[in-house]
Structure 1
Amino acid sequence: MTKQTKITATEARIPLDRLTLSTLNPRQDVPQADVIELAESIWTAGLIQNLSGLADDEGGAEIVAGGRRLRALKYLAEQHPDMAETHPELASPMVNLAPDRTTGEAWATTENIARRALHPAEEIRAYGKMEQGGSTPAIIARAFAVTEKHVYRRLALAHLPAPVLDALRADEISLSNAAAFTISDDQKRSLEILEQVRGESQSDYNIKRMLKPDAVRGTDRRAIFVGEDAYMAAGGRIGGDLFADESLFDDPEILDAVFQEKLDAVAKLLRGKGWKWAEAITESYIGYHTIEDRKFERIYAEQGDLTEAETERYDELAELAEGDVLDEDGEAELAALQEKLDGMFSAEQMAVSGVMVYVDRDGRLQGSDGLVAREDKAAAIEAGFLRKPTRIEDDEPKSPISQKLADDLGRIAQGAKQHAILRDPDLLLDLLAFQLSHALNWKNPLGLSLTDVPNWPSTEAEGYALDEKLTANPPRDMWEIKDLAASFRAFRKKGADHVRGELTRFLAAQYRGGDEKLAALVEKETQPSIREVWTPTAENFFKRVGGPYLNDLWSDLLGLASGHATITAFEKLKKSEKAEKLESLFADPATRSALGLTEEQQDRIAAWLPEGMA
């Protein structure tokens, strides 16, 4: 273990004319344009980071860390001769004074990498002040050495009510919680909700629902179908979730009214095309019970036939669609072939039947056509579109096949199919991979059901990264696919490697261990490592446990006894600061280097896991 030495430094305000740049300072050459930009930032937002230096014998100091800030302050003094009266804190900045030259040298080389990060609330306010002072996001980004995208995201929070930022600074709400408040332009409501969520660890989703309990997300099927333009033309208001890149429809009554109007317009258009009737349904699907309850009969369009060339082209396009690489022209061509394959209703059929239209869960217009109402059945029968019902007389002989025997015969027929497919194991594996990678619902070819095996934490998963095979490309929704055989042919054409890859990743997502001895055998073979995919951070762990636990953890990881200066200093920190310090210890090699950790200590940190997680 390396020897730990307590460093004592003092602070003092020293006039600018007594401050000079030390030869130890690494920033000996700084472009004047950078100095001017930083000066504008300091003039607007203040000096957020102290200078650091070595005291000289004349009441001044040589600055070893903060050379660019020193130049910016001296530039401001030249531009503002009355700065001592208007901004005395800048005319005599605070300087951290090193106790000896060795410490000063260490500060000079480590200050840039060990600089304390601004608390998000401080950062938001500093950016906001600069913006009010006329600085562009590009200038702010250069002044703070961050990306413009980062600046834009922080500026989006700069206009939040001051109490929300105060709560963020006090760590009573998280940064993502604060971002949730950006959806509201009702300050009174925002402050009411703020009082309810302080220190309660509420999810961002719950806060948004509390702020706007009636708002409809832009991903809602009604919003997708109606569109923002039509909704706003009717007087609807749009709110925004800037951080989820999502619109909120704030007037659900207007949305519902426009939704109904647009559906009714579609129904009117269909009646004009020859259907006897057309009805708009507000539900997201038409269930079998709807057909049964209303005593509808159904007639079908005569199925069309594709030529051999068209069939080959259909399979080719279906394969491209399966891989989500079909362009717009290809989609139109496939739709035309599908329409020909599905057939068309004749004018005579449409004259005795109708259609029900609805919007599915993805916001797409759908229809159920060829429905014959009770009052039109006689005409449909007379036209030959429906069979005349035959009544079974009570004295008609019963079938010699009992229901139990019929069930047994059905099982025998199913067994024959299983007996035959047993001869083609590749086909079975292809079917399994197809079923796992496609949401076939009740149309599954195999009698297997999946169990949810959760592998994602309830937080935003900061510090957690699984192989994308387990997190990307969920099962493709096949709800609206009419020809599963064509889809399966396209799937198999991708080759054995693709099929095996799909089979592997979806079976891996189903793995949950099972019997203790069996799980131990599998782990011996696969050698799983939790720390390979997870690193503890402030958000995913340290802020979610108590302060005493963090104190003990800091002591254990560094191998220092209670009462050691490093441990005592850590114990005096706020809980949020302890969490950030521990996150830095685990994630930042520079932090571990600055602490002078031994190889043994670094190995302990690299292997550490919370109790019960191993």
Structure 2
Amino acid sequence: MTIEYMSLKTLSIAPENMRKTAAESDLGELIASISAEGLLQNLVGYRDGDDTVAITAGGRRLRALNALAADKSSKAFRATMKIPVDIRDRAELHPEISLAENVHRLATHPMDEFEAFARLVEAGRSAEEVAARFGTTVRHVEGRLALGRLCDEVREAYRAGDITLDVAKAFTLSSSHEAQRSALATLRNTHSYGRTSRVVREMLITDQLPPHNRLVQYVGIEAYLAAGGSVTRDLFSSTDQEVAALTDGALVQKLATDKLAQDARALADEGWKWIETSLQPVDHAQLARYTRLHPRPMPLSDAAAAELAMLTEALEALRAEWAATAEGASDDDAEAVAKVEAFEQREAELEGAIDAIEQCQVGYPVPERARAGVVVSVDYAGDLVAVRGLVRPEDDGAVETTGRTPVTTDGRDSPERAAEKAAGYTLALQQDLAAYRQQVLKAAVATAPEVALDLVIYTMVTALVSRVGYRRSPFGASFTQTYERVELKDLDSTAAAAELDRIEAGIPFLVELPKDPVALFDAVRALEPDAKGALLAWCVSKCLTVGLPTAQGTAQRIVERIGSILKVDVAAWWRPTRARYFERVKKDHLLEILGDCGLDAVARQVAKEKKPAIVNGVAAVFDPSTRPTVLTEAQSLALDTWLPPGMAFGPAASEAETGAEGESPVPEEPVAAVAAE
């Protein structure tokens, strides 16, 4: 090895150097290091001519030196300065030398770097000075300092691989070593999947509100800051504005209260008799105090109808014009791209205007609004929820509410409602279970023409025969299709959805309907009785409204009666899973489920576990693919047939019945069920 000092301007990158892609943006730290400490390691190369040397190892150092020489503010670096180079014969310098230099580097552990930054500041240097010395930002240095100043236990846990870097960063939200140690001890007693940065954050900012808090989401961080609120910021976020926590919970509460009152005032123009507000999510028990009115189709005003026709015509013309001009347009043509963007913007404007008018076609008549009200609340996601059409008992003289009720005559919860409370049902879970239940009953009614016809006649009688009195029906007399929605968005993949698709595909009449109304009517008349019955059942099923048994009123009693007549086996159509049910209920309820399925010993064994572990275990035994083979046949059967409270269709006898009499004239044949998904 021969070290010679060569002029910087005579050095160039050799073709043998493995770094073919120059990452100039990554040279900042290296430039700062060479500027402060000089070149600590010589370069390696060979003579490429009388006065030039090609560098095979040290390409980044050479680029950093050239950058310093080009910087007029760096007085100590010039193109003529002498650089130490290990001059070798070109035949000796295989590409492997450059590769070896880059591959066989042993990087320092990140925690060693963090502690070194902390020692520099402790020695008297400012964060700004350290940032300038290493060619990085002050915020980057502050983050490294915070990590280097963590308590010994957290730093060692990161070194040992017990926690990830993201988790270590979360510990910096508190400067208290005692708080860090306490959080680490709790974290170590948590299952591995629970050792996340979010868990650590929540433990260290217990007296503050995280950004995902529902009231924070409702108010908005910008509004909170504008009102003078203070925050704890995250040193490791992608932007300087990342908020780790809000420190003034009382201010958030006040802002949420004021905003909710303002949002409620905006509903006053709709003409409701009363409006109630609640910062808490609406509880099912709260809604159960009222009779629920549902929106109806409403006629448009002449002006709105004319505007809707005009907008629809404009949208059709726009699409026709686009179809005629878009063919052959190139994505590389800037003018064509601009036209596409203009078309899409105009299309969205027209569609939005049409949607706004169409939404006015469903609403509440003035007399109903005059006796009903709205409950306005903030849900678990921080969104405003307005539940309209609620009638208080004192305003509900014309509405019959006998049957299953959530409260008994002595003021206590009914057994059904008590079971829901014990399980920890939220309003969202109740709504989801009702949606699954509605989909299942639709699939059952769609194959039962006799029951469908009975329901149509019943609805007509209650609507047209005045001496019967007002009776709500689960079947919309205006033939309004009902829809199901659940948080998991899995309704399209359920067994009931597959059955409904199969039924629809098996009705040839629906493939191509006559457009002329008289021709359509004649086509219906021409159907064979069986085909007409199948069509009737399918149509009726599309209009069903189904809730849980605790829902109030006659309509729900009829739903339960239909389910009983058809002997709907919900367990054959729908099964609870982690996402659908288990992770959304209380821990005690999960243990009860195990007991109900003959797994009392397992329930006692896991009773002291954290809820996430119990959720995993319950989900595993309910899933036949992961169920332990040691279970008995009786236990497996119990797991395959267990249903959440309120999901099964039980007996719903009429008030006149005292025994087994009064059976429906419809033959009670079980509905064929497909295998559960």
TM-score scaled by length of structure 1: 0.44
TM-score scaled by length of structure 2: 0.41
